[in-house]
Amino acid sequence: MPLDYYEKEQLHEKVNSLLNEKKKISKFFEKYINYEFMTASKHGGQYLHTTKSKVRAKISINDFINILERDLELPISVNQKLKIKELGKFIEAISEDERSQLKNKKLATERLLEKIYKIIEKLFPKPRIFESKESKEAKEERIKEKKIKSLKKALRKKIRRS
C-alpha cells in the first residue's frame, strides 16, 4: 500500500535522525561485513607486493535489506527492494592506499559505510508536493466567469461617435 505524504515525511525524518547517529547504524552493519585480502598493485616497493595489504570490504544485498527491515525498522517497499537488488549481489569498497593491511581495512570499512549511507538516503528521499491538475469542469467554469467579466467591462466602455 503506497504511503501518503505525511507518512513519507515521517519516514524521511526518521531516516535523517538515524543517519545523524552513524555510529549506531555502523554497529549493525559491521557484523555482516566480509573482508577479502589481496596483494596491492600500486607503488610501494617490495613490501607492498609481497604482502596482502589490499582490502575489499563487502556486504551482501540480502543482509543489507534484512538489517534495514529488522534492525533499523525501516519499511521497504517491493520497488525499493528491486532498486537495491539492481546494485548486484554485494555492496563493496576497496582500499589499497596504505602499506598496512589494518589501515586499509579501516579505510575500506569507512568507504563501504559511506556507500551504505548514500544508498539509504536515496531510498528514502524527501517527499515532494505535486500540484494537482485542474479538473475539466473547474476549467470550463473559470473560463465562463472570465467571459462574463470581460463582457461587463466591454459594456462599461463609452461609445465613440464617428
Instruction: Provide the pLDDT confidence category of residue 62 given band limits of 50, 70 and 90.
Output: very high
Q: Cell 563501504 maps to which residue?
A: 112
Q: Does residue 153 lie in a domain region?
A: no
User: What's the total number of domains in the chain?
Assistant: 1
- Domain carrying residue 32: 5-123
Asked whether residue 100 is domain-assigned, the answer is: yes
CATH of the domain at 18: 3.30.160
Q: How many CB atoms are located within 10 Å of the residue 60 CB? A: 16
pLDDT tens-digit readout, 106-157:
999 999 999 999 999 998 888 887 778 888 999 999 999 999 999 998 888 8
Please tell me the distance from the alpha carbon of residue 98 to that of residue 114, in angstroms, as a whole number. Answer: 19
Residue 132 DSSP symbol: P
Cell of 141: 467554469
Is 108 within a domain? yes
Residue 96 maps to a domain: yes
pTM of the model: 0.72
One-letter amino acid for residue 109 of the chain: T
> Would 132 be classed as within a structural domain?
no
Q: 13 lies in a domain? A: yes
**Torsion angle in degrees (nearest 10) through CA of 66, 67, 71, 73:** -70
Give the C-alpha separation, 1 to 115, whole Å. Answer: 28
Question: Is 139 part of a structural domain of the chain?
Answer: no
Measuring CA to CA, how many Å separate 107 from each of 53, 120, 153? 12, 20, 74
